[in-house]
Amino acid sequence: MSEIILPKSSSTVSVKVFNITSPNSTAPAGRFISPVKSGKERLYIAVYAFLIEHPNGRRMMFDLGLRKDLSGYSPVLQRLLSEGKFDMKVEADITEQLKAGGISLEQIDTVIWSHTHFDHIGDMSLFPPTTKLVIGKGSERKAYPDLSTTECIFLTIGYKGREVEEIDFEKPDLIISGLPAVDFFGDGSFYLLDTPGHCPGHITALARVKEDSFLLLGGDCCHHPGQLRPNIHIQKNFAYHGDVPTDFSEPILTIPEGPSAYADRSTALASLGKIQLLDANPDIFLVTAHDAILEGIISLYPEPLNDWKELGWKSKAIWAFMGEGNKGFGYC
């Protein structure tokens, strides 16, 4: 396995996760994965939002998930959601879940969007103007295409009256697994990584939760772990010994070649190749934004994810999609 040099630091953050959708939420598989098997045209998904807490008292969110009030979306997206093409129901959005957990929105000083798709940006208008917004360079500030139509979802309200920082990776603080990285707090506890392909400005986060263990918050770098695994790197530390329709050197699934949720397929695949190295590292646990396979393995708020290594979550999760009874089973 290619060596990854992980930066050293004793500074850490606490990471807690919320699932914004109700159980058994689904989306059209053909927009996210390829090939699509008969009978598996619907892809089970979660929608995760992450609370990051720094020892200095700062609290911030990495992604916000969906709105509860669909009237804030464009007409075409409202129609798609109501018609069930994206069957994602929200019983309590992130603002309601934070308040129920004893955290006021005024305590969130920063929100980071992994990218500007509807299921990640939440409703920034509910946060006070003191809450800073962080986006990747190249993210559309006015609108973004609503699926394959010419209609747009306007994002102006998310930016209006607040500080917006655009992360520029042209002069990164360091390179991690070939990915330009910015040391967000300046102490080695939380890095933002440039992972383009899914859409302009897509970023992921590497959170140090113990001195020698990390959580990789993968955003929409992929939508099913079969797009990452197997590969020659993962077999070194987490070998799968069952039957797969490949020779273990490449993932079973890939990104669709035609119109899909990925703006730039070749760039997205290049980013995935670099993420594979991080995913294969025993000190890094990958949690992507929609991995329903993790349901029942990881703990939701208020429990932190920091003890993932001691709890053996990675060993339980990494090949779970190959086992019957898991929401990711049967797609590969």
Q: How confident is the model at residue 150, as a pLDDT? A: 44
Q: How confident is the model at residue 2, as a pLDDT? A: 57
Q: How confident is the model at residue 271, as a pLDDT? A: 98
Q: How confident is the model at residue 148, as a pLDDT? A: 44
pLDDT tens, residue by residue, 274-315: 999 999 999 999 999 999 999 999 999 999 999 999 999 999
Q: Is the pTM of this model over 0.85?
A: yes
3-state secondary structure string across the chain? CCCCCCCCCCCCCEEEEEECCCCCCEEEHHHCCECCCCCCCEEECCCEEEEEECCCCCEEEECCECCCCHHHCCHHHHHHHHCCCCECCCCCCHHHHHHHCCCCHHHCCEEECCCCCHHHHCCHHHCCCCCEEEEECCCCCCEEECCCCCCEEECHHHHCCCCEEEECCCCCCEEECCEEEEECCCCCCEEEEECCCCCCCCEEEEEEEECCEEEEECCCCCCCHHHCCCCCCHHHHCCCCCCCCCCCCCCCCECCCCCCCCCCHHHHHHHHHHHHHHHHCCCEEEECCCCHHHCCCCCCCCCECCCCCCCCHHHHHCCHHHCCCCCCCCCC
CATH topology of domain 14-322: Metallo-beta-lactamase; Chain A (3.60.15)
- Residues of the chain where predicted confidence (pLDDT) is lower than 50: 1, 144-151
Q: How confident is the model at residue 58, as a pLDDT? A: 98
The ranges assigned to domains in the chain are 14-322
